[in-house]
Structure 1
Amino acid sequence: MHTAWFIGFMMVIGAVIGGMTNSLAIKMLFRPYTEKRIGKWKVPFTPGLIPKRHQELATQLGQMVVQYLLTAEGLGNKLKSTAFMDAMNEWLRSELEKLLRSEQTVANILEEKLGVDQPKQAFVQKTEEIIERSYNRFFAERRHQPIGEVLPVGVSKKLDESVPLVATFLLERGQTLFSSEEGKERLSQMIDRFLLNKGTLGNMISMFLGNERLVDKLQPELMKFMRDAGTKRMVEDILHKEWHKLKQKDVAMIESHLNKEDIIQYVTSSIEKNVPLYQWIEQPFYKWTGSFEERLLTEWVPKMVDATSDLLASHLEGLLERLHLEEIVREQVEAFSVERLEELVLTISKREFKMITYLGALLGGMIGFIQGLVVLLLG
């Protein structure tokens, strides 16, 4: 009976020592949180292992995350995975569909999100500034060049080919004018002025022939003159010569006849009225996106997602370097309190730590049993 009590006592002592030792070892991973001193003497094993190695742990975690967890290759594979692409397509389609069918306007978004005041007026003003800069740059660079050199080759050739058409048009308009009663009246007035300027000779002609008879005689001849092929060739030659002279003149000649402000205002106003973008800015999305909503959602969204995914995947390594992910992880872990870290680890591994404590008690009890037997045998 004495032997059984002795062995049992040794087992209990061993179990208590083993369990308490393991429990203490687990607690010493985290505690004490700070260094303890008795006077100038530092208490051994303070602070605990993790508080003492907090910075090293943060550095190692940062390196581990960058080198083994969030790698460019792993993230690239995730970005190109079918599941991720499908999820992104679905999300983007859903968000875009809400926007396209909303009462929101481009102007609202620019004002609320980007702080742009009166977006349409700002766009119009920016357009006007661009046109003005283009106008100034054009004449600054071309002012002293001949017009013929400035004109595009195709335009110059087209204008050269248009001379016969212009000559024909002018002669036809002249025939139409002088064959009408209005034209005949104007011709009569021209003859009157001509004869008045000739003094006595003009009065004598008017007296003997009469103005009306002279008009009747001149009008048919004038019409024949305008219909004559030679007249057409003469007009063409005149136009060709004048056009050739004009091409030799500097662009500055044209600039001197232009009103810069009027031209800029006209071009800006034309763009504002004829480019739909300027009207869309202040209209709700649903009013102008309906015509291409389906195409945008079914064709453009997948292409945008695919292109964005390819772009990110091809530049991930550089992006991760610029993000300094290792430093971010290190700083976050360093900022993480040891108390919170202990709570987190114990919450996750509480059962396992208890099992380690029980295992220590079990091993201690077994050692106590063996020690008891050894003592009895040697005694």
Structure 2
Amino acid sequence: MNFVGMLLFMAIIGAVIGGVTNHLAIKMLFRPLKPIYIWGKRLPFTPGLIPKRRQDLAVQLGRTVVDHLLTAEGIRNKFKEPQFLNDLEAWAQTEVSRALESKKTLSEWLEDVGVSGVEERLAEKLNAFIEVKYEELVGQAREKTLSEALPEGLLVKIDSKIPEFSAYILNKGIAYFESNEGRTRLSMMVQDFLENLGSLGNMVQMFISNDTIVNSVQPELIKFLSHKGTENMLTQLLDQEWDKVKGWKVDMLEEKVGRDQFLEFLKRNLNEQIPYKKWLHSSVEQVTALYKKMILEIWVPKVVKAAGDFVDNRIEEVMKRLHLAEIVRKQVEAFPVERLEVIVLSISKREFKMITYLGALLGGLIGIVQGLIVYFVG
């Protein structure tokens, strides 16, 4: 073999060895995934570098992310940027506006966010609240009279309403006896009265019909109910009865009315007066229509500002409680090495090829140098 041929041969051998060695070294970063054993002994360099050091890599990545990448100061500075806050507020307003325009009922919307049985739970809470407040108020006043237990303003108001109540009762009575139903009832009362008179009643009916008697009694009864004196008499009677009731002790009134019946009355009326059932069966858009502008223009900016203040004051504590380093460590440990290999090779494919070529180049140069040494020494 001549000199040039020997140098060329040595260069090719060196280039092949250098290129294959570097290519194998790159592959050994990721492969093999598990240790290989022959006759019970683990082969050196198995598993590959990254599979072998995955836990150490995960720990170091977690520390790096927390200490240098996703830092409390970086997040705090981000929340201080006016443009970021404006963008955050605009996004929040858009999302809240979309939610407020929902056609779903409030009950359905609450079901979607995981709050079920709202109507029943509200009724239970309201009834429980009524019972607690009833025991608080009545329990403290059972030995007091009504005039002592009720607020002075309420007593004065009730006293002032008695004349109105008298007029209301009489007006209802007049309207009733002027109606066909009232006339029929009056005729039945006359009939019952005459029957109770026995033979005298029968004799009266022989000469005067029921209709004649009703025609005579009805105007007089209405005149009586319309008379101012009747109203004054009823007002005086109600005043006297109300004065007696005010002298009752609360426990006596509770006993006469019945605790359970009174509580049931309160529950029924308060459940009817508080329109939560109507709200729950109305759409979110209907329920929030009156408050939408206030929510978007006042509440949302306040919430965004509060979030910024919270981040400014408590971000270190939040990040500690999140254990970000631990999260990163677990994610890295769970990340498939095969997937990591594909990602790294896809990103650095050109660079790894250049490393392989560089190994081949260096191997070729070393082969030439070796050839020269062999030639001159030989």
Work out whether the TM-score is over 0.5. yes
CA shift in 2, pair 1:273/1:305, >3 Å: farther
1:318-354 CA deviation, whole Å, 9 max, x = no partner? 3333333333322222222222222222122111111
Alignment match, 1:87: 87
Alignment match, 1:342: 341
Alignment match, 1:34: 34
Aligned-residue Cα RMSD (Å) equals 3.7
Alignment match, 2:310: 311
Unaligned runs of 5+ residues in structure 2 are: 167-242
Residue 46 of structure 1 aligns to a residue whose secondary structure is coil
CA contact (8 A) 1:19 1:360 kept: yes
CA offset at residue 101 of structure 1? 2.3
* 2-structure distance, mates of 1:146, 1:321: 61
- Residue 34 of structure 1 aligns with an amino acid whose one-letter code is K
Residue 350 of structure 1 aligns to a residue whose secondary structure is helix
* 1-structure distance, mates of 2:254, 2:61: 70
CA shift in 2, pair 1:322/1:144, >3 Å: farther
Alignment match, 1:97: 97
CA offset at residue 54 of structure 1? 1.8
1:173-193 CA deviation, whole Å, 9 max, x = no partner? 9xxxxxxxxxxxxxxxxxxxx
* 2-structure distance, mates of 1:7, 1:46: 36
Q: Percent identical across equivalent pairs?
A: 42
CA offset at residue 303 of structure 1? 1.3
CA shift in 2, pair 1:253/1:376, >3 Å: same
How do residues 45-64 of structure 1 correspond to structure 2 at under 5 angstroms?
Answer: 45-64=45-64
* 2-structure distance, mates of 1:313, 1:282: 41
Residue 339 of structure 1 aligns to a residue whose secondary structure is helix
CA shift in 2, pair 1:7/1:113, >3 Å: same
1:297-334 CA deviation, whole Å, 9 max, x = no partner? 22221112221333344333333333333333222222
* 2-structure distance, mates of 1:37, 1:57: 24
* 2-structure distance, mates of 1:31, 1:268: 74
* 2-structure distance, mates of 1:122, 1:11: 86
How do residues 238-317 of structure 1 correspond to structure 2 at under 5 angstroms?
Answer: 252=251, 255-256=254-255, 259-275=258-274, 277-317=276-316
- Residue 301 of structure 1 aligns with an amino acid whose one-letter code is V
1:247-299 CA deviation, whole Å, 9 max, x = no partner? xx976566556643454445445544544544322111232432222222222
CA offset at residue 150 of structure 1? 7.1
CA offset at residue 44 of structure 1? 1.4
1:70 aligned onto 2:70: yes
* 2-structure distance, mates of 1:113, 1:55: 38
1:354 aligned onto 2:353: yes
* 2-structure distance, mates of 1:146, 1:337: 80
Alignment match, 1:125: 124
CA shift in 2, pair 1:250/1:99, >3 Å: same
CA shift in 2, pair 1:365/1:149, >3 Å: farther
- Name the count of aligned residue pairs: 299
1:143-177 CA deviation, whole Å, 9 max, x = no partner? 467989977xxx56x689x69xx79x99xx9xxxx
* 1-structure distance, mates of 2:144, 2:343: 79
- Residue 18 of structure 1 aligns with an amino acid whose one-letter code is G
Alignment match, 2:133: 134
* 2-structure distance, mates of 1:67, 1:258: 72
* 1-structure distance, mates of 2:305, 2:256: 54
Alignment match, 1:221: none
- Residue 53 of structure 1 aligns with an amino acid whose one-letter code is R
CA contact (8 A) 1:120 1:282 kept: no
1:41-84 CA deviation, whole Å, 9 max, x = no partner? 32211111111112222222222223333333323333444344
